[in-house]
């Protein structure tokens, strides 16, 4: 089967290297490189470049590394923490796994996708009804389904119309998309499912009965099949035992003083000999001169950075036009995992404005005792859900009321809350990139394309966009461009 060398990178070897990919970077000339952003993309680029003998400075506007890998630890009871950003990955994420293994970061599987009932009966709240699903139970799904779809239920429907498409086909591997996947760029995931026979009711089930449903009617199917479906196909979801931020923190501590925190890049000036970045820190402004820049910050933030001379019109159009998903996460601390007494999972898929319900932390430890966090995970990319425009107190009451529809009695166990709204985060301005139909073919190559001395990294420049894997892959790709170019 044909594989399109989509982003001019090649697949990493799957064995043999002691350090991730570094042997592939055979630098002759040491370059001075300034990296904008200490998210996973910037850190991966820095790590690679340092291994290859280059001189690196990372400018990070915040006082911590990790960007959208953000573990909230303060303000919860002992042993509890909440992932406000990235939480899950699988061992299909080969770039990420190499870093995880190199830095010895502990992780565990949550449960196998083939065992959706491992943490109790599955829960849904759809069309105004709470639905509890046992492995062999007969559920009256509130959608018009064919007799076969009714029997299959939500997990069977995803297997039949989506996962089965991968049988006998090439999988996407780091930087390359097989042709069959690229051909799905002209449609959404729901249109793809419809082509494969999904009834309108089954499409609604895919949209509201799965965590990836929020992107299924707006994003390119080439993107969702690659970043969401291929990533979880036939493997168990994994999570970091001590919180996702352990990985960027481990990388950052190795990079040490090469990272400047509280350093906001405000202007990039390219010249014939070098490139200069104007940096604003508390109380001062200075310049960092380098041979190359890796710009590893989200495009909505880049829009406000001056670039001289200006980026090409084609690149600027993508920087200005690329949309981002909106995500608001509300974390409710619970005195007890009371849902376990009922024999149901903490997690639930809903079509309520609170979105997906998730139990956190994803890996249970002794230290958290009987407590846990129930999270409302609202995602959208059009009209905002009701909770978005509310004042804090009003939002809490609303979320508690909605959560009670899924987990009756939640108010009795509620102890406190925190929330994270990614569109309001000035260093992200959105949760993750949204490539609409047609844009994986036309915009993604442009997003990742080098402009003179400026290289571009970040999840939004990878075929695994929206993921940690995409961020790491893009950082390695940018490092290679610099090392080889
Ligand atoms: C709600 C949510 C859930 C997610 N869930 C998952 C998941 O379960 N699994 C998964 O794999 N992925 C998940 N992701 C995606 C994952 O977190 C991202 O793809 C990845 O972390 C992005 O890394 P990055 O380096 O590209 O960007 P970022 O992490 O955004 O890093 C960019 C960095 O640049 C800094 N910066 C911005 N502007 C400037 C400036 N002017 N000067 C200097 N520094 C600047 C920022 O502070 C930030 O540290 C999720 C993301 C969100 C938001």
Whether 374 and 399 have beta carbons less than 8 Å apart is answered as no
Residue 46, pLDDT score: 98
59 Cβ inside 6 Å of ligand 1: yes
Residue 117, pLDDT score: 57
Residue 111, pLDDT score: 66
Task: Look at phi and psi of residue 198 and say left if phi exceeds 0, alpha if psi is from -120 to 50, else beta.
Answer: beta
- With the most atoms of ligand 1 within 8 angstroms of its CB, the residue from 48, 85, 279 to mutate is 85
In this prediction, residues 92-120 reach a mean pLDDT of 81
Question: What are the structural domain ranges in the chain?
Answer: 3-67+245-323+434-484, 71-111+238-244+326-424, 143-232
* Length reported for the chain: 485
Task: Say which CATH superfamily domain 3-67+245-323+434-484 falls into.
Answer: FAD/NAD(P)-binding domain (3.50.50.60)
Q: Could you tell me the pLDDT band of residue 22, with boundaries at 50, 70 and 90?
A: very low
Residue 175, pLDDT score: 72
Cα 90 to ligand 1 centroid, rounded to whole Å: 18
In this prediction, residues 25-38 reach a mean pLDDT of 82
Whether 230 and 29 have beta carbons less than 8 Å apart is answered as no
Share of the chain above pLDDT 90, in %: 79
Residue 315 scores a pLDDT above 60: yes
Residue 229 scores a pLDDT above 60: yes
Ligand 1 atom closest to the Cα of residue 43 is 25
Residue 250 scores a pLDDT above 50: yes
Nearest CA, atom 3, ligand 1: 85
Nearest CA, atom 19, ligand 1: 467
- With the most atoms of ligand 1 within 8 angstroms of its CB, the residue from 35, 39, 246 to mutate is 39
Distance CA 190, CA 172 (A): 20
Top pLDDT among 2 and 395 is at 395
Cα 461 to ligand 1 centroid, rounded to whole Å: 12
Domain 71-111+238-244+326-424 fold is Polyamine Oxidase; Chain A, domain 2 (3.90.660)
Fold match between 3-67+245-323+434-484 and 71-111+238-244+326-424?
no
Distance CA 114, CA 428 (A): 34
Q: Could you tell me the pLDDT band of residue 9, with boundaries at 50, 70 and 90?
A: very low
Whether 360 and 334 have beta carbons less than 8 Å apart is answered as no
- With the most atoms of ligand 1 within 8 angstroms of its CB, the residue from 297, 435, 465 to mutate is 297
Residue 135 scores a pLDDT above 80: no
Predicted model pTM: 0.94
């Amino acid at each position: 089967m044909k594989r399109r060398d989509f982003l001019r990178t090649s697949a990493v070897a799957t064995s043999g290297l002691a350090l991730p990919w570094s042997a592939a970077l055979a630098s002759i000339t040491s370059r001075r490189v300034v990296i904008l952003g200490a998210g996973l993309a910037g850190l991966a680029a820095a790590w690679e470049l340092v291994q290859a003998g280059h001189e690196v400075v990372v400018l990070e506007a915040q006082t911590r590394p990790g960007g959208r890998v953000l573990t909230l630890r303060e303000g919860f009871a002992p042993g509890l923490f909440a992932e406000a950003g990235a939480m899950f990955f699988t061992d299909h994420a080969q770039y990420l796994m190499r870093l995880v293994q190199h830095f010895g970061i502990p992780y565990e599987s949550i449960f196998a996708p083939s065992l959706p009932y491992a943490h109790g009966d599955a829960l849904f709240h759809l069309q105004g009804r709470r639905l509890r699903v046992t492995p062999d139970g007969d559920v009256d799904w509130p959608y018009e389904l064919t007799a076969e779809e009714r029997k299959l239920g939500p997990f069977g429907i995803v297997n039949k119309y989506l996962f089965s498409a991968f049988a006998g086909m090439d999988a996407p591997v780091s930087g390359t998309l097989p042709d069959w996947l690229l051909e799905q760029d002209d449609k959404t995931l729901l249109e793809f499912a419809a082509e494969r026979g999904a009834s309108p009711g089954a499409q609604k089930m895919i949209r509201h009965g799965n965590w990836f449903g929020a992107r299924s009617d707006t994003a390119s199917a080439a993107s969702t099949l690659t970043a969401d479906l291929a990533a979880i196909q036939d493997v168990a979801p994994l999570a970091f035992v001590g919180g996702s931020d352990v990985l960027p923190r481990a990388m950052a501590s190795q990079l040490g003083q090469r990272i400047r925190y509280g350093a906001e890049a405000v202007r990039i000036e390219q010249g014939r000999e070098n490139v200069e970045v104007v940096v604003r820190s508390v109380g001062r402004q200075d310049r960092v001169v380098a041979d190359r820049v890796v710009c590893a910050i989200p495009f909505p933030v880049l829009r406000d950075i001056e670039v001289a001379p200006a980026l090409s019109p084609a690149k600027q159009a993508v920087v200005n036009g690329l949309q981002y998903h909106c995500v608001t996460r509300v974390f409710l601390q619970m005195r007890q995992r009371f849902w376990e007494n009922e024999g149901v999972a903490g997690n639930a898929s809903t079509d309520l404005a609170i979105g997906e319900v998730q139990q956190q932390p994803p890996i249970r430890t002794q230290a958290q005792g009987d407590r846990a966090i129930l999270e409302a995970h609202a995602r959208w990319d059009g009209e905002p859900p009701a909770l978005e425009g509310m004042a804090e107190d009003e939002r809490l009451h609303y979320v508690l009321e909605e959560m009670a529809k899924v987990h009756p009695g939640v108010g009795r166990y509620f102890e406190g809350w925190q929330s994270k709204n990614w569109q309001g985060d000035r260093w992200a301005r959105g949760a993750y990139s949204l490539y609409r139909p047609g844009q994986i073919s036309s915009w993604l190559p442009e997003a990742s394309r080098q402009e003179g001395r400026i290289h571009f990294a970040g999840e939004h420049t990878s075929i695994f966009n929206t993921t940690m894997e995409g961020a790491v892959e893009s950082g390695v790709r940018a490092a290679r461009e610099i090392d080889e170019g």
